[in-house]
Amino acid sequence: MIILSAFEFRPTALAKKDVLNKVRKHREQSVAGTAVSRASGCIFLAALAAFTTALIFLGLTLVRPAPAGAATSGSDPVLAEIGKHKITQQEVDAKIKMQLYDARKNALDEMVDDYLLRQAAKREKLSVTDYVTREVNDKATADINDATAKKFYDENKDKIPALKSAGSYDKIKDRLIAALRQRDAQQLHEQLMARLRKEADAKILLVPPRVSVDLSAGHPTLGPDDAQVKVIEFGDFQCPFCKRSEDAVKAIRQKYGNRVQLVYMDFPLSFHPDAMPAANAARCAQAQGKFWQYHDALFADQSKLAPKDLKATAKSLGLDTAKFDACFDKDQYSQSIQQDLEEGHKLNVSGTPTFFIDGRELVGAQPTESFVSIIDQELAKKSEPGKKTASVQ
């Protein structure tokens, strides 16, 4: 389905001389999207502001690149001092491992794609611009015309708000054709690069950072313990982005079945007042063997997270209400939930939802394709033992 933002594109066809600039812009947008995706979740903004204020009052000293003789800890330079407390470069790097990986991966992808395009264009005796125009822009222009755009409009005018509010097809025709062509050009470019990588047997050996999540306390799971891939979610029942991610989570369960195990961990954010009671209620439902039914009910209607609503949900699911109410009223699982929060903090989880797919971090309400990409890589890796790779240091 076309994305809504596509209707903001200017209604001009991709000019031949602009093709590579469009391709590079798409790459830049992808890089920016990586950063934006980390914000597509419920984030500790209030805590961040408080932390910044606290640093000011504590007398934080930021250290410039150390001159000869500056304070270091072996080969680990000290980057900041707060009184007698020191923060070293290794500590900082450990906190931003994922960002370092993203930067390296995006740069590596650009270098690989540029090389493959140059080689493909050379074989065809074309400039890179002409080659990409032929393989991407011309095909997108040919595929999308007035008839295909009108068909798309008729099939989606009641589903996509931007189409519904635009009025008649004639009013939006030019913008719609341009948006559809740009959508197709993006898809054709991705398909082209995938084909060139496959033909050239290109291998990306950069390994994403992984973490080990402590699951010793026991958590709700879907799927067998011996599943090939483990997907761990740190979630918050009041977080709208967690609700949005549910469709993707259900899609991967349906796609992979018993090859994937889903593990749920609680990460109720302090600025969501109903999140902690909801987490406790879900644990009480787990004690009666109905965590996932309760989990689904909470996300189905996030307006019903008040204590009376949580108890009503338990009753509607056929739970023993006396046992549930007693469990809920005494916050029986508050300590276990706090342990999940502490584990999340150790892993630098800063918002919800945050997923770890075999230890690889995925932040925010991501589309199904983002999960599929990582899961497929993990499944493929397990079938190729001994492959040499480069890790993020």
Joined together, the tokens standing for residue 318 give: 């056929």
Whether the predicted model's global pTM rises above the 0.75 cut: no
Q: List the single range of 265-269, 322-326, 382-386 with lowest mean pLDDT.
A: 382-386
pLDDT digits (tens, 9 = 90+) for 163-220: 888 888 998 999 999 999 999 999 999 999 999 999 999 998 998 889 899 998 889 9
Given a cut of 50, is residue 80 above it in pLDDT?
A: yes
- 328 versus 388: the higher-pLDDT residue is 328
Given a cut of 50, is residue 68 above it in pLDDT?
A: no
Given a cut of 90, is residue 128 above it in pLDDT?
A: yes
Q: What's the CATH code, domain 221-382?
A: 3.40.30.10
Q: Domain locations in the chain?
A: 4-27+99-199, 42-97, 221-382
Tell me what the mean pLDDT of segment 139-164 comes to. 89
What's the CA gap between 262 and 285, in Å, rounded? 18
Local structure of residue 66 (DSSP, 8 states): P
Q: Which of 42, 4, 7 is nearest to 240 (CA)?
A: 42
Confidence bin at 36 (pLDDT 50/70/90): very low
pLDDT digits (tens, 9 = 90+) for 81-104: 999 999 999 888 887 887 888 899
CB 122 within 8 A of CB 114: no
Q: What is the pLDDT of residue 387?
A: 53
For 231, the enclosing helix (H) or strand (E) is strand 229-235
Tell me what the mean pLDDT of segment 226-254 comes to. 96
Written as one letter, the residue type at 300 is: A
Place of tokens 């989606």: 156
Confidence bin at 368 (pLDDT 50/70/90): very high
Confidence bin at 43 (pLDDT 50/70/90): low
Given a cut of 70, is residue 35 above it in pLDDT?
A: no
Average pLDDT over the chain reads 83
